[in-house]
Structure 1
Amino acid sequence: MIKRLFQSFHPLEQLEKQRMSEWSKGTVPDHLKPLYQTPIPPPDIPFEDLELVVLDFETSGLDPDTDAILSVGMVEIRQQILSLSTGKHYYLLAADAVKPETAVINHIVPETLAGGMTEQECVSTVVANLAGKVVVAHGAAIEQAFLRRAFRLPQDVPLPLVWLDTLMLEKSLSVNRGKSNPDLRLCHIREEKGLPPYLAHNALADAVATGELLLVLVREVFAGKTPVLGPLVQRSLKGYA
């Protein structure tokens, strides 16, 4: 009973209540219904039972109100295995949004985006790939903000997606070790874990790199115990255990 009472206050339980409340209103737009139809998994679900999709955006800047998504990378994790065959990489038809200061970083120029998908096509594709899955990102606040903008969701409407943030997971481990001001860049964390270098600032490469890191971090967090979803979500939200 005490365990159930504790779980009722867990962020996952709260998100499920919000999802059910929003769904019951009957006002969810058709293109977002796949996200709202799927129940949020419980905190005690084993990690190996989850289907996850690692998501990365390359954008023209960091402000979703003035900047745009330029490319999307996704790759799936099932039964704790990252499957490269599920990798997807899309460019958007957003040539006018390219900025010189970001082009020198992600190497996306207007010509790269010729023939890319529209924002509406991107939203449909992303929704289809995220529905029913746990979403993984490094510094997830960026992907969350741009998703909300693309979905046209008001701030008071919950987005019923479960997120695991590798940046926050590593931060939580650093806090446990008493390490202050850790370098939380994806490339630096991977180097510390002994993972190989990768092609940074490419959406698909970043997604694969983040997925590989997640599997290492999950082993560190649980240290031989059976991984479950709840503690990973709490660390992703708080940045500490």
Structure 2
Amino acid sequence: MDMLFPARPQPALSVSDEIALYPVARIFCIGRNYAAHAAEMGNEVDRARPFFFTKSCHHLAQTGAILPYPQGTADYHHEVELVAAIGAELRDTDPEAAMAGVFGYAVGLDMTRRDLQARAKEKRHPWDAAKDVEGSAAIGPLTRAEAFGAPGPQEIVLDVNGETRQRGRLDDMVWSVGECVAFLSTLYTLMPGDLVMTGTPAGVGAVVAGDVLTGSVEGLASVQLTLSEA
């Protein structure tokens, strides 16, 4: 098929100890999934159902990327998250079946133009300009689910220039991975290639050009992002 211009490359993630790549299709992001983070943002946790937004797969950044500080903001924030990669078709499923459909896990950074988000909240507008930003989904290599095990007491940490900014445990989540994935499966038919970023612990904050961000979860490969001058 002839194209008017070259198609964008297929975004993909590496898988630890494997040659084949995991092609990325959609990125779903669960919000307010750690009570302490919800509180620091002035929000209450809605236990009735998860809250989510999306990012373009073309805004995926590989670990080790050096990216410019984004335009249109003076308050760019870090949010470290566990990422679940879907490996099976899931539709209207339950948490147990949802967990069985997870291919693997990675550490991710949900980067956010916080000033734009605050402005959108005030006007009850969508968060797209705050969240769906080029390079705003920095994600490390995937580890297969069977090699990582069940998310639970593992620590999740974010360092900026070697100084710890965020620290929590995966079992601090309000909604478990299985519950998040099962909920999304009631709204979408999840497919291999879909990613679910599962929320961030407390301690989010601003970064500036020159900062080096490192996110880690016990048992997973870390993710690193460096911000350069625009």
- Is the structural similarity TM-score above 0.5? no
Q: What TM-score do you get using the length of structure 1 for normalisation?
A: 0.27
Greater RCO (CA < 8 Å, at least 6 residues apart):
2
- Structure with a larger share of its residues in strand: 2
Larger relative helix fraction: 1
Larger Rg: 1
